[in-house]
Chains A and B, each alone.
Chain A
Amino acid sequence: MATSASNSGSSASPSVTIEVPTPRKKSVIPGGTLYRGREGMWSWVLHRITGIGIYFFLLVHILDTALVRVSPEAYNAVIGAYQTPLMGVAEIGLVGAIVFHAFNGLRIILVDFWNIGSRHHVALFYVVLGLWVVTMLAFTPRHLMNVFGW
């Protein structure tokens, strides 16, 4: 496609005034390029962090389970290290990460495929947090009873 333009028209562009919202508080962060999102950003951050943690646990978990083919003694010795009170408490963190990643993953699917999902992604994030609290309230006391023999 070809078109012709006048060589003298470059200075004729009209000026445009646009409304810019005035910041409520003066930012202490220079540059102003730092993205600070709200629920959407935090769900994304938490999904990444929990995903990385679960991935590296999975690598170790495949290796420790593979010890059943070495000998019963080897497997029992290594799995015994998981059954200390310290690891029992750490397991609450692992389960917490898995439960968040699971519910937030379902939220992502709803945002992607449900026609009104993206409009309600913030409300869905609070549903995820609510379900996480309920699930952890069901899991934690029972798990602590098993770990500490209460």
Chain B
Amino acid sequence: MSVTIETPRAPIRTHKRGINWEKWGWIYMRASGIVLVVLIFGHLFVNLMVGEGVKAIDFAFVAGKFTDPFWVVWDTALLWLALIHGANGMRTLVNDYATQASTRRILHGALLVSTIALLALGTLTIYAFDPCPAGSPAELLPSFCAEVM
């Protein structure tokens, strides 16, 4: 009797053409991770360690940072790198623990929608920001508002 045996160790499907998104996601986690260590440690040091720390954070403090181009670039990079890093990490967890196709679809969709919405909201917060809103009490505003008005 003769039996036909498939070629041993032949790949089930040949290599898919196109961009290998999982590979780039893997690279992104490591590349963004290194940058985030610097950005977040700097963020925490300036906001929690320098001066009065967390006690000093109020509207005037944030307004001072969002009118400084250095912190605008810093916080924009922080927002985009951290949120995409976090959302991709949560995608890994969904892939690991959500076993039903419908659950996975709902959770992946929720991650995509929330990430896009919060990136838009966060970017708008940094760039469409008025440090001296009209009609607000002067003691709540940064000191440079008095010079402008």
Contact = CB atoms under 8 A, between A and B. Distances in A.
Given A2-B2, A55-B90, A68 B82 contact: no
A76 B58 contact: yes
A51 interface: yes
Contacts of A106: 33-34, 37
B37 A143 contact: no
Contacts of A5: 1-3
A91 B34 contact: no
A121 to B, nearest CB: 16
B40 interface: yes
Nearest to A65: B125
Q: How large is the interface on A (under 10, 10 to 19, 20 to 34, 35 or more residues)?
A: 35 or more
Interface of A: 1-5, 7, 48, 51-52, 54-55, 58-59, 62-63, 65-66, 68-69, 71-73, 75-76, 79, 82-83, 88, 91, 95, 98, 102, 105-106, 108-109, 112-113, 139, 142-143, 145-147, 149
Interface of B: 1-7, 30, 33-34, 36-37, 40-41, 44, 48-49, 52-55, 57-60, 62-63, 66, 79, 82-83, 86-87, 89-90, 93, 114, 118, 121-122, 124-125, 128-130, 133, 136-137, 140-141
